[in-house]
Structure formats: structure tokens, C-alpha cells
Amino acid sequence: MARLAGKSAVVTGGARGIGEGIVRRFVAEGARCVIADIDVAAGEALAADLGDAVVFLRTDVTSEADIVAAIEACVSSFGALDVMVNNAGIVGVTGPIGETPLELPVMVRQGSGSIINTASTAGVQGGLGPHVYTTAKHGVIGLSKSVAVEAAPFGVRVNVLCPGATLSSLTAGLVTGDKDNLDDAYERLSSKYVGGRAPKPADMANAALFMASDESEFMNGAVMVVDAGKETLSDRAAKFYPIPTR
């Protein structure tokens, strides 16, 4: 039986990388998805590939109006918003969570929902990114835990996915200088994991599937780290925190 049969989701950053992997896995498990992404070409290509189970909407996650439009597209196209995957980022609005016109009020009215916020292993460990990035990812986790308490009485769950450095065009560009050089990127990334293999988008999609499904209904305010147990720090730490010479 499809684990997400009858459920509908919005996946921000859903056109490429981890987001694309999540969309593909969700659809394979019976869900219908709004692909919310700023990359029109990739989003339209993915929508054409997956057919009627998805809708693509150009979405800039720094725009509250765009996020609202994506949520409204999910409700109007599929009848509900069961899962919100904040994969591309967190929208910077102010005020109490319950008063912001984003995904939470829709789920509160339904009395159910699963919000998945993507952070990073840099959200639970130092040395994996610059200070501002690390601080922001820790903030995603803190906000998620806080909102999880507020949302729980309404049947809405909020959990966090913390991927290790995952193979994608973004990481390929960072480690090789060429976003299309996925083979070399995978080899370089794999050398940094104790298991000898770098994670791929499908690995993150598997974790997100569990968090979105009813199988995780008693999981709220949790942080799921997906990095094969440990990502080594050496190269990344040296890049961001060079050892001073004396």
C-alpha cells in the first residue's frame, strides 16, 4: 500500500536536488505535490515527467505572497495541505506563528498536518559551515521545536531533517567548481563519510517519507540527522576555520 496515498504536499525547492528526490518519492508513494521552486526550467521539466500528480508553481521563498500562493495552489488543486516540506528555506515573517498567513492556519483548520523543515548537520555540529550558516541552521531547529509545542494541540507535527552534504548540483559546484560534475563530486564527498559513501537525494527522500507518513504520528519536535553516523570535518573545517599561523 502506498504510504502517502491520499495526501498532498508542498515541497519548496522541489525542482532539483534533495527537493526533487522528495517530490519523486512522495509521488511514488501516492502523494500529490506542488513543486514550489524559483527554477522554472527544472520545475516544468519535473512536472512534465511526473504528470497529473504534481503542479509546478514558480516560488521565491523569500516572498510571503509566493508561499501563500503555493499553499493555495495545493488546496485548490488537491483539496488539502497534509505535508509542508520547507526544503528551500524559512520565510522571514514576524509575529506569533498562529497569526502568520502561511501553512500552519490551513493545517490547524484541518486538525492535522506534518511540517518538515530542512536544516543541516551544521545545525547540530560546529565546523561544517561558516558561522552565519551554522547559526541559521541551529535557529531552524530551535524554531521548529518551539512551533512543535504550539502546534501539537491542533494535530500538527513539526520535525526537522538534517542532511549531511548530499550529492546535488549545488554541492558539485562547491566541491569541484562545476555544478554538472556529479561524478567527481560524489567521489570527493564520499571520502568524507565514515561509511565511504556520500548521501544522495533519495536518502533524504526516504527520511522525509517517514516523517510525512502516518508511521511517524508520535514524532513531534524531533531532529533526524541523516549523515551515515558521522561526516568528517577535516576539509570543511579547514576551509571555514583556517588554523592561524604564528
Burial letters 11-27, b for 16+ CB under 10 A, else e: bbbbbbbbbbbbbbbbb
Listed residue (14, 33, 29, 45) closest to 78, CA to CA = 33
Residue type, 144: S
Q: Is 186 a catalytic residue?
A: no
Burial of 60 (0-12, 13-18, 19+ CB in 10 A): middle
Task: Give DSSP secondary structure letters for 161-220.
Answer: EEE-S--SHHHHHHHHS-TT-HHHHHHHHHTTBTTS----HHHHHHHHHHHHSGGGTT--
* Torsion sign, CA atoms 185, 194, 212, 53: positive
What are the cell numbers at 50? 511526473
> Any idea which residues carry the catalytic annotation?
133
